């Protein structure tokens, strides 16, 4: 038994063919053998090219921008920018909670590893707009 089957679909005829010729025969066989299965349907995840693009943009922002009168590393800027982006598109998840020792706080936020292909595209556009509005000159 394979642990997982992933089928990428772009149009209805392709999806129908994949479900009838690939998914259903394997699923039926596994169910008849007594296995319990889960079917998951989700949007396509971001691409490696998108990830490289927004990381490069965040790196350029980190080199040129200041926040609270200070410079910040790319990872800090990424957290700040992802938080702002998520608020702007209405994605929740940002919470500030006490740490496990009770002597500080931890921010729990949406992470880019969960971006869909569309969210990653929107994030790149957001970074471009934010950069232009904040005097960032992108090399790309």
Asked if residues 61 and 77 have their Cβ atoms less than 8 Å apart, the reply is: yes
pLDDT at residue number 38: 92
Q: Which domain holds residue 28?
A: 1-41
Structure tokens at 116: 């869909």
DSSP bridge pairs for 45: 116
What lies within 8 Å, CB to CB, of 122 at 6+ separation is 85, 89
Specify whether 64 is located in the same domain as 121: yes
Considering the domain architecture, whether residues 73 and 112 belong to the same structural domain is answered as: yes
Tokens 């995840």 identify what position?
45
Q: Are residues 27 and 59 in the same domain?
A: no
- To the nearest 10 degrees (0 to 180), the angle between helices 74-89 and 48-64 is 110
pLDDT of residue 1: 53
- 124 and 92 belong to one structural domain: yes
69 and 98 belong to one structural domain: yes
Give the per-residue pLDDT at 94: 67
Same domain, yes or no, for 121 and 55? Answer: yes
pLDDT for the residue numbered 108: 76
Tokens of 79: 């957290």
CATH number at residue 58: 1.10.3790.10
pLDDT digits (tens, 9 = 90+) for 15-40: 999 999 999 999 999 999 999 999 98
Residues 33 and 93 in one domain: no
The stretch 4-24 carries a mean pLDDT of 89
Residue 2: the pLDDT is 61
56 domain residue, yes or no: yes
Q: How far apart are CA 24 and CA 67, in angstroms?
A: 54
User: By CB neighbour count within 10 A (0-12 exposed, 13-18 middle, 19+ buried), where does 40 fall?
Assistant: exposed
Residues near 65 by beta carbon (within 8 Å), at least 6 away in sequence: 71, 72, 77, 134, 135, 136
Region 106-127: mean pLDDT is 89
Confidence of residue 42 (pLDDT cuts 50, 70, 90): confident
| 99 and 66 housed in the same domain | yes
User: pLDDT, tens digit, for every residue of 61-113?
Assistant: 999 999 999 999 999 999 899 988 988 888 766 677 888 888 888 777 778 88
For residues 24 and 72, membership in a common domain is answered with no
> Does 66 lie in the same domain as 126?
yes
State the average pLDDT over residues 130-139: 95
Task: Report whether pLDDT(12) > 80.
Answer: yes
- Count of structural domains within the chain: 2
């Amino acid at each position: 038994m394979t642990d997982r089957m992933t089928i990428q679909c772009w149009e209805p005829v392709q999806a129908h063919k994949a479900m009838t010729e690939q998914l259903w025969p394997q699923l039926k066989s596994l169910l008849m053998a007594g296995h319990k299965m889960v079917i998951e349907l989700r949007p396509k995840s971001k691409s490696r090219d998108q990830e490289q693009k927004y990381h490069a943009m965040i790196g350029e922002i980190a080199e040129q921008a200041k926040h609270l009168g200070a410079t910040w590393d790319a990872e800090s800027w990424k957290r700040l920018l992802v938080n702002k982006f998520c608020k702007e598109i209405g994605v929740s998840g940002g919470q500030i909670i006490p740490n496990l020792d009770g002597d500080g706080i931890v921010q729990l936020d949406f992470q880019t590893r969960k971006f869909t292909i569309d969210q990653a595209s929107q994030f790149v556009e957001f970074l471009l707009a934010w950069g232009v509005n904040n005097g960032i000159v992108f090399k790309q």
